[in-house]
Amino acid sequence: MPLRGKLACAQFTDTGRVRDHNEDAIGSNAEIGLFVVADGMGGYSAGEVASGIAVKTVIDLVTEACQRETREAVDAPTGLMRQTIVLRDAIMRANKIIYNTSQTQSECEGMGTTIVACLFWDNRISIAHVGDSRLYRLRGDAFTQVTSDHSLLQELVDRGFYSQEEAQRSTNRNYVTRALGVEASVEVQVAEADAAKGDVFLLCSDGLPDMVEDDDIQLTINTFSASLDMAGKQLVQLGNDNGGKDNISVVLVRLLDEFPARSGLLTRIRRLFG
């Protein structure tokens, strides 16, 4: 289902104040409600190669899948909607391409990338991520980190060694425990949630939350709520004003209206007699 007129979006990526080049990559297909942020690693140009491959692969494969099928089906073994499976499989495919490239091209040896991606469908959102690139949701006054970082620090929080407040102040936040391209296979964490009119979703690389606390991110989005472009620019500026120690990528999506899927004949019959 085309989502034209159902959502508004703004996208920004910035090198920051310390790095000499940008290894982040962002991309989208707003027509189908797909948004992606990847944060490359590996030094020189390899990090941006990995993130670029990840974003392009996910957009290409998910777009192709959405054009090919209605996505009404639920995967029986997992209970996940078809679009979630498509998103997960596209990221797994990107992992294989990045890994094979790093194994066969010496200049790309050791490269990898984190990724977070989301796909809107039928008043819901499918989310898939690897690493510490994040997705947040602002609903009313509640600002929630939806994804959980695949990082050593988050594991220590989960085990009770740090509180979330202590973790936000920690200087050792960048050791990821999962990334694309590091191994031949990767576990992609997926989730599904409802998506309501008025919700604002933020996808970002770790260069934003490493420099800006969540409360300040929420305040910035609320302050510039009339313009996603202005809110995005201000988030990047705030990250740079606080040090800009890493590349900063920001994708903001606001849901302007409900977007129920068109039901197929079998679905309508099941609802009628269900």
Average pLDDT over residues 90-106: 96
Which helix (DSSP H) or strand (DSSP E) does residue 114 occupy? strand 112-121
In the chain, what are the domain boundaries?
7-273
- Overall average pLDDT of the 17-28 stretch: 96
Q: What is the DSSP letter of 264?
A: P
Q: Which residue is associated with the tokens 């796909």?
A: 119
Arithmetic mean of pLDDT over the chain: 88
In the chain, the amino acid numbered 113 is T
Region 239-266 average pLDDT: 88
Q: Where are the beta strands (DSSP E) in 175-268?
A: 189-194, 200-204, 248-255
User: Which residue matches tokens 């991606």?
Assistant: 117
Of the options 3.40.50.300, 2.60.40.420, 3.60.40.10, 3.30.450.20, the CATH number for the domain spanning 7-273 = 3.60.40.10
pLDDT 10s digits, 181-198: 999 999 999 999 999 999
Residue 67, pLDDT score: 83
Q: What pLDDT sits at residue 68?
A: 78
Torsion sign over Cα 63, 64, 67, 69: negative
| 70 neighbors 30 (Cβ within 8 angstroms) | no
For residues 55 and 26, the answer to whether their CB atoms sit within 8 Å is: yes
Segment (H or E) for 94: helix 82-104
What's the pLDDT tens digit per position in 114-123?
999 999 999 9
